[in-house]
Amino acid sequence: MKKILFSFLLLCAPLLLHAQRADYGIIPQPKSVTVDDSQFFILQSGMGIAYDAGNPEVARNAQFLHRWVEELTGVHLQMTPQDKKAAIRLVLGFPADKKAKKNKKGTQAPALTEQQQEAYAITIDKSGILIQARQPIGFFRAAQTLRKSLPIRPTSSRQGGEELRAANERSEALSLTGEREEGLFFPYVQIQDEPRFVYRGAHLDCARHFFSVETIKTYLDLMALHGCNQFHWHFTEDQGWRFEVKALPELAKKGSVRNQTVLGRNSGIYDGQRYGGYYTQEQCREIVNYAAERYINVIPEIDMPGHMMGALHVYPNLGCTGGPYPVWEQWGVSHEVLCAGNPETMTFLKTVFGELCDVFPSKYIHIGGDECPKSRWKNCPKCQAKARELGLKDDGKHSIENQLQTWINHEMEQFLKERGRDMIGWDEVLEGGLTEGGIVMSWRGINGGIEAARQHHRVIMTPTDYCYIDYYQLKDQWGQPLGIGGYLPVSKVYGFEPLIPDQLSDEEQKYILGPQVNLWCEYVGYPEHVFYMLLPRLDAISEVQWCRSEQKDFENFKARLPRMLKLYDRLGVNYCHQIE
């Protein structure tokens, strides 16, 4: 019987060759994809990747591609930098650019936008896979596109049992016959791509709950997979201060630990367990470098002058009443905030933001500015004396206390400007009159963003209704982990149009840098829940960030989503399986 089976397998070996076919229906969808699926290029183990080995950034991206092909398909390519005939070739420069330069002799070619710097082209035909890019970043984007197009070999132990068993049996049979299994079939294609928005963000609250460096790296990997380029790292809060400040060693040590945490939505019942954790500056640098290799900028946020109980616990003299203050054990907005009239407050902020700028090279630094109740300031002699010193008067539009906050913002903006940085603030920074160079993060709807764009301030759009992925994503909330409330299904995220064309002129729309999703973590305490909230809503926002509005079609998006979900299975990350 064994003999018969063996002879049968020998006869069938060529048929068993596992033809795995690429599919360019990826997320986010490239700007243009022209497929000819009557012809294929077959990529096999042993074929090469050619690239400029003298350029470490290009070499790194070639390595990424090499690794991803192997991880997902088992096809092992060779790094063959010099080989002009390699199956995959990474070539810097677009021939069309050179032509344009020649045609415009004497005239200055217009400067390329940041999006155009990210552009890439992939051509697959009988000579193989040609990747062209203006800058090394384009190779990274192209490598991600190819990665998402790859057929996934079912080898992960997380994969369904049947599929895995079948694959194992097949490879045993093939090894008996000496036949190779690999062979990736790429339909001929022309892909041209560049993103729509310059700013494509995702935020993570690591203050309400603390997440490990490894979890943050996975978050960054997922962002990079979707073409996101700005990680907004929220890491100070009433419930914990999580950034090491070397000049203030007690700050993170003590300010990061709360004695207990309320259960549910401020139920009044507490878990009785100490909770804490903070990031050393060395870890922050590690994350900055990891992100940079994936073309993601890390924007740190120190949220001030509200959301400061973590710091006030350690330095009660910085509060209007002098404390004592616990690291907060419940959720919501505390009315205990930094005292605006105490000169030590500004010294504290400059020490903290000074070290923040040392650790984070980001052009953008986030100062928070949201949800700062003014009840303490109204009754604080020091705050009121400061307001008098500054000559602040209620002008009917801006209260004295709101203007006091603007004064702090202005001081910080100047401080950051001296270090070559731009300040971002939540849209409350508009309330006391926006400082001149500030960037507004519009979260309480789109109106703050509209107002700021009309005043010719740059804007990042993160309105709760479309971008708050701490909200539930399914109507039926009972089967899901406890959340803050709300309802933001994938379809609604997908439907967001950040330029608000019916309210902003073409000129005003230029001030909208791009959209961002925010993941607040009062109720999100472990990594599986983080990724459950993120995916697949990150897929939806990535098309808002990357694709032109005329390209978008939710039904078409939904049809492309299952392949992404399969990839998440393969990568071992959790996601919400239901789509609404």
Binding interface with ligand ACM (CB under 6 A): 370-371, 426, 443
Please choose which of ligand ACM, Zn ion, none residue 382 contacts, taking the beta carbon within 5 to 8 angstroms, the exact cut-off set by kind.
Answer: Zn ion
Please choose which of Zn ion, ligand ACM, none residue 411 contacts, taking the beta carbon within 5 to 8 angstroms, the exact cut-off set by kind.
Answer: none
| 3 state DSSP class of 368 | strand
Please choose which of ligand ACM, Zn ion, none residue 440 contacts, taking the beta carbon within 5 to 8 angstroms, the exact cut-off set by kind.
Answer: none
In angstroms, the CA 181 to CA 13 distance is: 10
CB of 150 to Zn ion, least distance (A): 58
Of 179 and 370, the one with the shorter C-beta distance to ligand ACM is 370
On whether the CB atoms of residues 169 and 40 are closer than 8 A, the answer is no
Of 211 and 426, the one with the shorter C-beta distance to ligand ACM is 426
CB of 143 to Zn ion, least distance (A): 53
Residue showing the smallest CB distance to ligand ACM in the complex: 370
Q: Which of 7, 8, 9, 39 is nearest to 22 (CA)?
A: 39
Please choose which of ligand ACM, Zn ion, none residue 371 contacts, taking the beta carbon within 5 to 8 angstroms, the exact cut-off set by kind.
Answer: ligand ACM
Q: HSE of 205 in the Cβ direction (CA atoms, 13 Å)?
A: 24
Of 383 and 534, the one with the shorter C-beta distance to Zn ion is 383
On whether the CB atoms of residues 376 and 335 are closer than 8 A, the answer is yes
Considering just the CA atoms, what is the radius of gyration of the chain in Å?
27
CB of 488 to ligand ACM, least distance (A): 13
Of 341 and 515, the one with the shorter C-beta distance to Zn ion is 341
Enumerate binding residues for Zn ion (CB under 5 A). 320, 339, 341, 380, 382-383
CB of 333 to ligand ACM, least distance (A): 8
Which tokens hold the place of 366? Answer: 């986030």
Please choose which of ligand ACM, Zn ion, none residue 219 contacts, taking the beta carbon within 5 to 8 angstroms, the exact cut-off set by kind.
Answer: none
In angstroms, the CA 80 to CA 71 distance is: 19
Please choose which of Zn ion, ligand ACM, none residue 380 contacts, taking the beta carbon within 5 to 8 angstroms, the exact cut-off set by kind.
Answer: Zn ion
Of 34 and 379, the one with the shorter C-beta distance to Zn ion is 379
Which tokens hold the place of 274? Answer: 């100490």
DSSP codes joined into one string, 82-128: T-TT-SEEEEES-HHHHHHHHHTTTSPPPPPPHHHHT-EEEEEETTE
Q: Which of 114, 201, 199 is nearest to 458 (CA)?
A: 199
Please choose which of ligand ACM, Zn ion, none residue 341 contacts, taking the beta carbon within 5 to 8 angstroms, the exact cut-off set by kind.
Answer: Zn ion
Q: Where are the beta strands (DSSP E) in 163-249?
A: 184-193, 201-205, 230-234, 236-237, 240-241
CB neighbours (10 Å) of residue 363?
A: 11
CB of 270 to ligand ACM, least distance (A): 23
Of 341 and 438, the one with the shorter C-beta distance to Zn ion is 341
Residue 187: Cβ-neighbour burial (10 angstroms; 0-12, 13-18, 19+): middle
How many residues are given for the chain?
580
Residue 316 zone, left/alpha/beta (φ > 0; ψ -120 to 50; rest)? alpha
Q: Which of 96, 89, 88, 140 is nearest to 118 (CA)?
A: 140
Of 48 and 240, the one with the shorter C-beta distance to ligand ACM is 240
CB of 380 to Zn ion, least distance (A): 3
CB of 304 to Zn ion, least distance (A): 14
Of 407 and 531, the one with the shorter C-beta distance to Zn ion is 407
CB of 408 to Zn ion, least distance (A): 12
Please choose which of Zn ion, ligand ACM, none residue 287 contacts, taking the beta carbon within 5 to 8 angstroms, the exact cut-off set by kind.
Answer: none
In angstroms, the CA 245 to CA 546 distance is: 36
In angstroms, the CA 392 to CA 209 distance is: 38
CB of 409 to Zn ion, least distance (A): 16
In angstroms, the CA 261 to CA 522 distance is: 10
Of 124 and 404, the one with the shorter C-beta distance to Zn ion is 404
Helices (H), 118-178: 136-149, 161-177
CB of 350 to ligand ACM, least distance (A): 23
Please choose which of ligand ACM, Zn ion, none residue 443 contacts, taking the beta carbon within 5 to 8 angstroms, the exact cut-off set by kind.
Answer: ligand ACM
Please choose which of ligand ACM, Zn ion, none residue 370 contacts, taking the beta carbon within 5 to 8 angstroms, the exact cut-off set by kind.
Answer: ligand ACM
Of 380 and 424, the one with the shorter C-beta distance to Zn ion is 380
Please choose which of Zn ion, ligand ACM, none residue 369 contacts, taking the beta carbon within 5 to 8 angstroms, the exact cut-off set by kind.
Answer: none
CB of 216 to ligand ACM, least distance (A): 20
Of 306 and 514, the one with the shorter C-beta distance to ligand ACM is 306
Strand partners, 304: 368
